[in-house]
Amino acid sequence: MSEFAKGEVWLVGAGPGDAGLLTLHAVEALRAADVVVHDALVSAEVLEYAAGAELVHLGKRGGQPSPKQPEINARLIAEARAGRRVVRLKGGDPFMFGRGTEEVLALVAAGVRFRVVPGITAGIGGLAYAGIPVTSRDVNSSVIFLTGHDHTGLSPEGIDWAAVGRAAGMIVLYMAMRHMGEIAEKLMAGGLAADTPVAVVMRASTPQMRVLDTTLEKAAADIAESGIGAPAIVSIGRGNLLRAQMAWG
39 belongs to the catalytic site: yes
Q: Which of 89, 104, 120 is the last residue of a domain?
A: 120
CA dihedral 55, 28, 39, 83 (to 10 degrees): 50
61 Cβ partners below 8 Å, 6+ apart?
40
Domain count, the chain: 2
Q: Annotated catalytic residue: which of 18, 93, 170, 175?
A: 175
Domain boundary among 78, 103, 120: 120
Which of 57-71, 182-196, 210-224 is the least confident region?
A: 57-71
pTM: 0.91
Indicate whether 76 and 163 sit together in one domain: no
Same domain for 88 and 17, yes or no, is: yes
Supply the pLDDT for residue 60.
66
- Residue 2 in domain: no
Q: Is residue 37 part of a domain?
A: yes
Domain range for 144? 123-246
Q: What is residue 141's predicted lDDT score, i.e. its pLDDT?
A: 86
Out of 18, 39, 93, 202, which one is annotated catalytic? Answer: 39
Residue 125 to residue 179: CA distance in whole angstroms: 23
**191: pLDDT strictly greater than 80:** yes
pLDDT tens per residue, range 124-155? 999 999 999 999 988 888 999 999 876 555 66
- Cα angle for residues 10, 16, 21 (degrees, 5° grid): 75
60: annotated active-site residue: yes
241, 133: one domain: yes
> E strands of 81-167, at which residues?
86-90, 114-117, 143-147
Position 61 scores a pLDDT of 59
Active site residue 175: yes
